[in-house]
Structures are given as C-alpha cells and as structure tokens.
Structure 1
C-alpha cells in the first residue's frame, strides 16, 4: 500500500478527532466546516481505496494472502465517516460533535489495522 497516503489519512483523522472533540467540550454542535473537514478526510480515504483497487487489480496482494480481510477493512474505512455524518445530522447538540470525534478516531484505528493487514499482520 502507499504508506505516505496512509499516514496522511491517519493524521487527518486524528486532527478531525481533536477538532470535533474540542467542539464537543465547548458544547457546540457539528457545524458546516466540520462537515467540510469530514469531506476532506473522506476524499483521502476514497483516493486510498482507488490506489488499493489499482494495486489489487495489478496483481499485488497483502502479505499472508488475506485479501478478503483487507478489502473488508478498506470498505469499512470508506463507510466510517459517511455513517458518522448521518448520525451527527440527527444529533444537533454537543453529542453530534462527540460522535464525529469518536468516528474519526475509529477511522484512524481502522487505518492502522488496514496497513497491518497489507503488511501481513494477523493482529493476534
């Protein structure tokens, strides 16, 4: 996989976690610019999915042959923020911001696992 892109997604997700977590602590709901931040992170994850699809189509495989697990994590990464955004739309209080912060943190953890699976880690 493309390590600089993975690191960029993780850093962006952690920054989104801190930003929305700060908004939650300040008792603020999710604002339009938070959705903009989610869109940027989502765009990065979609670029990553495209790069991974091209590499898989070109014959590259995760070490250890766990392609199914890798694709599952790739789909989960791409769906994480859209699902969180829908929940945040329904919760127009500080808890919407907290939900986005938690979702972005989960996204960062999924990214770490995605990189681990590509490298052949079993996670056990």
Structure 2
C-alpha cells in the first residue's frame, strides 16, 4: 500500500481532530468549514480504499490477511463521515467533540492498516 497516502490520511485526520477540538474548547458546534475539512479527509480515505482494493485485485497480499485489511479500509473510510452525520444531530460543542473523536479513531486505524499491510 502507499505509505505516503497512509501518512497523509493520518496527518489530515489529526489536523481535523485538533481543529474540531479547538472549536469544542471555544464552545462551538461544527460549522461549514469543518465539513469541508471532513470532506478532504474523507476523499483521502476513499482514495486509500480504492488503491487498497486495486492492489489486492492485482495479486498483492496483506501480511495479516486480505479480509481484515478490507474491513479496516472500510472502517477507516466510514469513521469521519459517520462522526460528521452524528455531529449534525448534536448542534452544540459535543458535535465538534464527536468529529474530533472520529478523526482520532481514523488516525489510529491508519496505524493499524500500516501494520496489517506490512506485517
């Protein structure tokens, strides 16, 4: 898998977590700018999902198994959008906290994806 893309997804996810965490500290809900940030992170995660599936289709193998790898790819892709939808229902500072937590989960999933692919 592309290590640079894995790092890019993790770094942008951590930046989103810091940004939304700062908004929560200022007692602000998620705003349009936060959703643009979520879209950027989600597009990177989608690119990673597609590249991972293409690499598996070409015959490359994840060291810890293809099924677990695809499951983690899908979970990584879904983490930030799910948190974004939850933040829409909670229009207080806790919506920002939810997005920050989802972005941190994505960063942790990226570390695990790297471990699954490289052993």
**TM-score normalised to structure 2 length:** 0.98
Structure 1 residues without counterparts, runs of 5 or longer: none
| Equivalent-residue separation in structure 1 for 2:5 and 2:40 (angstroms) | 13
Aligned to 2:63: 63
Aligned to 2:50: 50
RMSD: 0.7
Aligned to 1:89: 88
Aligned to 2:30: 30
Structure 2 residues without counterparts, runs of 5 or longer: none
1:31-55, Cα deviation, whole Å (9 max, x unpaired): 0010000000000000011111110
Q: Which runs of 4+ in 1 moved over 2 A?
A: none
| Equivalent-residue separation in structure 1 for 2:50 and 2:74 (angstroms) | 11
| Equivalent-residue separation in structure 1 for 2:20 and 2:81 (angstroms) | 15
1:16-67, Cα deviation, whole Å (9 max, x unpaired): 0000000000000000010000000000000011111110110001124x11
**TM-score normalised to structure 1 length:** 0.94
Of Structure 1 and Structure 2, the greater helix share is in 2
Count of paired positions: 119
| Equivalent-residue separation in structure 2 for 1:69 and 1:90 (angstroms) | 31
| Equivalent-residue separation in structure 2 for 1:114 and 1:25 (angstroms) | 31
